[in-house]
Structure 1
Amino acid sequence: MTEPKTRLKEARAAAGFASPTDAANAFPRDINKNTLISHENGNRPISRKAAEKYGELFGKKAGWILFGENGADDGSTPARPPPELTLLRTGLVAGRLAGTVEAGTFREVDEFDQSEAVEILLPRDEKFPNARQLVFDVGGDSLNELRPRPILSGDRLVCLAYEDVAHEVELRDGMVVVVQRTRDSGHFREWSVKQIELYNDRAEFHPRSSNPKHKPIVVHHDSEADDGVSVEIIALVRRVMNEMPGF
């Protein structure tokens, strides 16, 4: 009898993806490449929630992935096509609430926990109409002294997915970005919001904070930090929203 890791590989291959990287590139909102590799290698157990998500994406039943129920093809459903941005007639688009940005807090990556993966309606970005809009809730005080407008705990950031606009937007000093740091082969990540300072040999991502515990992230031309922590920009901040108290 095959193991869950083997059936997962078979499901991914049957859906037309030659490698975990291909699957992760097709479903960037749903699959973390390192997690899929760990599941396929057997280094990380496949939870029921993970099996349900893989089953939805690869067109197989979760029970078959976990237990081999009903055979490879019985009860299969068509694999879900790669997601696309949905434009609405009202001029609004569906933006994804990605999670919380909070400096200094590494959280275990579980892309199958959909508690925060909800869509909200946002005004269409006329300058970048085809870029995905990501929304982050702010925790902590890492930009509470940003000028001209501080970013405070409880604010909501409306951002552009950086990979969607990297070919047309040049990074400049003073831009505010969401930075992702990952460690332990991508199993833990920190999302934080920082302001860019660019130099010839490095980029610096600065907190603008009254709290001295927050330190800049310095990335030299080699993008991999010496301590094994990977750093990348995942979003450009376009707008800051907040609601008045009392409602």
Structure 2
Amino acid sequence: MARRTGIPYDNINKYLRGEVENPRGDTLEALAKAIRRPLVWLRDGTEVGENDVTPSAGKLVAAAIVGRVEAGSFREIDEFDQSEQVLISVPADERFPHARMLVFDVSGDSMNDLSPRPILDGDRIVCVAYEDVAHEAVLRDRMVVVVERTRDGGQTREWSVKQVEIYQDRTEFHPRSTNPKHKPIVIYRDINADDGVKVEIIALARSIQNDLTF
């Protein structure tokens, strides 16, 4: 490993013996490449499969940072985006152990009045992919979900966080905000209605993270 990476033999031994918990610079990345394993596996003990993610003994799994949620912000969809997704380690979801974990960064104040805990600008939402859990997590009142709205023939997209309200003739996805500019998304049960906008639930919110500066 020392020959492959150029990292001194003694330094690698200190890391393997636990004498150094956090090697400097890009040492861990170089070691991970040398043994052909993901960085999160070496750093956090997280197992990353080709098609799934499974908890290690440390109860951590790898989750992809999918993108940013921001109510009212439609962005063009780049179908040819080949950029590699960033993976982070998050606690395993014991309720949905086989679901894909998705992470979204929050912009804006559309959920700053959510009870019992607001979702604030700069927060990070840890979710499970809704299509993986829809069969056992039937949509109901007060669920917090990530909603995708597409328009312009699917060329532009908005991701936003909303709270569900279900009525006999419609489902409403509500912001919980002190800012009156944010409005709910209302979906009526009318199979003939088509205004060119498609709405889909893509994730079920499970927890909120926010790192503190010091």
TM-score range, shorter chain: 0.7 to 0.9
TM-score after normalising by structure 2: 0.72
Count of aligned pairs between the two proteins: 165
One-letter amino acid of the counterpart of residue 160, structure 1: V
One-letter amino acid of the counterpart of residue 73, structure 2: T
- Aligned-partner SS, 1:203: strand
Contact 1:93-1:121 at 8 Å conserved across structures: yes
Find the aligned partners of 2:116 and 2:55 in 1 and give their Cα distance.
33
Deviation at 1:116, TM superposition (A): 7.3
Deviation at 1:110, TM superposition (A): 1.4
The residue number in structure 2 matching 1:167 is 135
5+ unaligned residues in a row in structure 2: which ranges? 1-48
1:198 pairs with 2:166: yes
Q: 1:116 to 1:241 in 2, by over 3 A?
A: farther
Q: How does 1:96-175 map to 2 (within 5 A)?
A: 96-113=64-81, 117-175=85-143
Q: 1:225 to 1:213 in 2, by over 3 A?
A: farther
1:215 pairs with 2:194: no
Q: Normalized per residue, which structure has more strand?
A: 2
1:86 pairs with 2:53: yes
Contact 2:151-2:197 at 8 Å conserved across structures: yes
- Aligned-partner SS, 2:54: coil
- Report sequence identity in percent: 65
Find the aligned partners of 2:67 and 2:164 in 1 and give their Cα distance.
21
Q: 1:225 to 1:234 in 2, by over 3 A?
A: farther
Find the aligned partners of 1:99 and 1:110 in 2 and give their Cα distance.
13
Higher relative contact order (CA 8 A, sep 6+): 2
5+ unaligned residues in a row in structure 1: which ranges? 1-81
Q: Normalized per residue, which structure has more helix?
A: 1
Find the aligned partners of 1:224 and 1:230 in 2 and give their Cα distance.
13
One-letter amino acid of the counterpart of residue 86, structure 1: V
The residue number in structure 1 matching 2:23 is none
